[in-house]
Structures are given as C-alpha cells and as structure tokens.
Amino acid sequence: GYKTGLYISPYVDVFNERIQINRQYIPDEELAKATEKVKEKADEIIAEGKRSPTIFELVTAVALLYFQKEKCDYVVWETGLGGRLDATNIVKTTLCAVITNIGYDHTAILGNTLSQIAFEKAGIIKNGIDVVLYRQTDEVEEVIRKVCRERQANLYIADFDDIEVTESSLSGYTFNKGSFKGLRISLLGEHQLKNASVALTACRCLIRQGVVISEDSIRKGFMNAKWQARAEIVREKPMYMVDAGHNPQCAQALKDMVDKHFPGIRPVYIYGSLIDKDYQAVSEILFSDAKAVITVSTKGERGLTAQDLGETVKNYCKQVFPHDTIKDAMRFCKNYVSDHDLVIVFGSLTFLDEARKEIIDIYKEGR
C-alpha cells in the first residue's frame, strides 16, 4: 500500500499524534531531530530581524521535514485556521482540496460572515486541481464556485441525497451510498455520514487522477476510521461521552446525535469554553434539555471561569454547578449521577484529555 502522512491539530493525548504516517505517531527521536533542524532555521530568521515564526508554522515545518525524510507517497494536511494564510498552504502539489462544513468560528480572524469565512477557506484551492465541497448554504457555495472558476479548478459537491442508513446503533452506522452497499462507520452522529460522503467523493477524484484505491480499501478505511473526542464513548455505565465540539455548529450536531440515539434522556453536561467562543449560542442549543450542567474553568489568556460560564448557562438550565478543575467536576459528577444517566463532557480540547483520564481513574479507584 501507500505510505500516507497525516497532519492534524490540535492533539488530544500526546503531541506526537499531530504528525503520523500510516496511523503511527512520529517517534520521539524523529520529532526531536526535525525540531532541532527547524529551530536552527528559525533562529537564523530571527537573527536577521524578521518576524519570529509561530508555533503552528514551526510544527508544520517539522512535519514537512519528517514526511520528506520518510518519502511519503501522499499526505493529508488539515489546515490549522482558515486556509488562505494557513501555514499548510505552503504545499503547492495539491491533488485534491477538501472543504468541509463551514460555520461561524474564529470570526475575529476569518470574518463575521459565512462568505468571508468561505473566502478564507477557499484559499487552499490551487489552479486546475480537483475541489471537493461538503454541501453548503448558497452563500458559501457561491464563493467557492467563484474561486474555482477563477482558478479553473474542478468542483465536486458531495451528494447527500443517496445516503441510505440500513443500521444505526451506538457502535456506528451501516449505510448505502450510491453504488457502494453495506458501508460501515463507527463514528457517531449523522453528520459523519455526510463526512463519509465527502471522503468518498475525494477518493473518486484521486482515482480519476490515477491513484490506485480499491473498493476494499475504501470499505476498510471507513470501518477503521476513529477520531478521538468526537462523540467518543469512554465508559458505558453510567455512560460518559467526550466530544471536542466548541461552536454552535458542533453543538447542533451533538444535539441531533443525542436526540437520535438517546430519545427522552436528559443528559448531564460537563462544559468548559474559551472566552472567545460563542458559549451563549451553544448553551441555547444544548442546555434547555439538560438534567444539569457542570461548568469547568478553562486556563490561559483565553480562559473562562466556571462561575462566569455558569451565569450564562443558568439562562437555559436551572441546575448549574461550577467547578474550577476538571478533577473536582468529575468527582462531583460521580456522586450526582446514577448508572442510567448520560454524561457528556463537551467543549474545549484544553481539558478533554484530562477528562478522559479522570473518568477512568475515579471509577477504577472507587473514589
């Protein structure tokens, strides 16, 4: 098979997961070697009086060095923010640009309207390449179409109308998509079926360009696809789910998933947010149906205290319990819930790794 690199951000468990080849994280030794080389160049740039590279730019350079050293056949690059000015956009040998569902996020940088955000995302479109687009609003599609025309790029909008779900459970979905019958994914949320359609459309583009991807490989790829902290079930009784969503769009997808798979259940949410996220809109979408919301403080310059977050949440749910640390929140939650409850840990990735470990620890140790 192909040697395929993957570059993602941020990480959930360990930093190394940001740079992978064939699903194997970059080894510590290779990470250190590449980082040292990048640091030498960065020091030269700074010594010349030029702007200091950002952390994201430095990590992207580390990934480029590693993928080059390992002679990857192909690399999947996830943009960090937007696209037009993103460090990953330095790559000029794009075979296929994929633009997923666009919503309101990072508006202070990308713009306050969907068309402005779409323009930034469209910055990854290179001349003459294939572009795969998650079906969007007319406002967004108009922007993408315009850029594709200007750059003579081939636009393919993923079709969701022919997705037919034949089996649905907490272990995932079995579905038909066009001529593909009996596809299986383990990712929860019907939006993941749409994401699968986008991925399948991208595969077809690559196949047309001569990349050899068998139907069996596509089936195995969907079946083995895993994504940490995306509606991830960490414990079953009581059920704890961890989700990295942090904007209104993600909150709506989470609500739809809960309504589909847990009808009639009022979840207990453990929620933390950065101060520049639209936590008011998230609260409005999710918490009117909540049994309780345990708010958690987030750290750093963009951190938001559990108390301040709780004041907003109280407008939608009467049972709000602020806790400064995820450890305190988890201990409180363990005593608050019964085996029949659904607990959803949701919000900033800054505390989700700790949350996953705490869920395991507090029940293992019987605290």
- Going by pLDDT thresholds of 50, 70 and 90, the confidence category of residue 39 is very high
pLDDT at 106 over 80: no
In order, the DSSP letters of 212-248 are ---HHHHHHHHHH---TTSSEEEEETTEEEEE---SH
Q: What is the distance of C-alpha 90 from the center of its chain?
A: 22
Token pair 């002679």 is found at 71
Helix (H) or strand (E) holding 96: strand 96-99
Cα–Cα distances (Å) from 298 to 230, 323, 354, in that order, read 19, 10, 12
Residues contacting residue 166 through CB under 8 Å, at least 6 positions apart: 174, 175, 176, 182
Chain segment 165-188, per-residue pLDDT in tens: 999 999 999 999 999 999 999 999
351-366 pLDDT per residue, tens = 888 999 999 999 886 5
Would the CA dihedral through 273, 289, 102, 94 be positive or negative? positive
Q: Is 4-224's fold the same as 232-364's?
A: no
> Region 245-265: what's the mean pLDDT?
94
Tell whether the model's pLDDT for residue 50 goes beyond 90: yes
Question: In which band, very low, low, confident or very high, does the pLDDT at 111 lie, cut at 50, 70 and 90?
Answer: confident
The CATH number of 4-224 is 3.40.1190.10
CATH of domain 232-364: 3.90.190.20
Domain boundaries, the chain: 4-224, 232-364
For the entire predicted model, the pTM comes to 0.90
Q: Which of 123, 8, 125, 122 is nearest to 60 (CA)?
A: 8
Name the 3-class secondary structure at 265: coil
